[in-house]
Structure 1
Amino acid sequence: MRNLLILIIVLGGGFILVGMYIAPNQPPLRAWYLANACPTLDKVSPEICAPIRKAERTGADKT
């Protein structure tokens, strides 16, 4: 049971970190996060999706 809880915490943390650091530089992933994940993540903290929105506004395409 403890291992399952740790796995869920690690996956959740990884999901947030991908949204903050990787998604802003990947246009398809950035679009998915904006459409699907950011409405829910904004309830936790608006700072999680801030880099994605900033990259979307500036049109950053570093691929």
Structure 2
Amino acid sequence: MRNLLVLLIVLVGGFVLVGMFVAPNQPELRTWYLANACQHLDKVSPQICDPIRKAEGTPADKT
């Protein structure tokens, strides 16, 4: 059970790190994160998708 929890934490952390560091430099991945993931990641922290939005040139949502 502990191994499953650690795996889940590592996967979520990897997903966030890819969004912050890899996706801004990859157009297809950046588009996917903007369309699908950023709406959920913004609930955790708006700073996660800021590098993607800066690379795309779209303003951040102020909600």
Scaled by the length of structure 2, the TM-score of the pair is 0.90
1:37 is matched with: 37
Q: Percent identity?
A: 78
Any idea what SS the aligned residue of 1:46 has? Answer: coil
Any idea what SS the aligned residue of 1:47 has? Answer: coil
Deviation at 1:36, TM superposition (A): 0.1
Matched residues, number: 58
Scaled by the length of structure 1, the TM-score of the pair is 0.90
String of CA shifts for 1:5-59, please: whole Å, max 9, x gaps: 000000000000000000000000000000000000000000000000000018x
Q: List structure 1 segments (4+ residues) > 4 angstroms apart after TM superposition.
A: none
What is the distance in 2 between the residues matched to 1:45 and 1:10?
18
1:25 is matched with: 25
Stretches of structure 2 that go unaligned for 5 or more consecutive residues are 59-63
What is the distance in 2 between the residues matched to 1:34 and 1:45?
14
What is the distance in 2 between the residues matched to 1:35 and 1:48?
14
RMSD of aligned Cα (Å): 1.0
1:61 is matched with: none
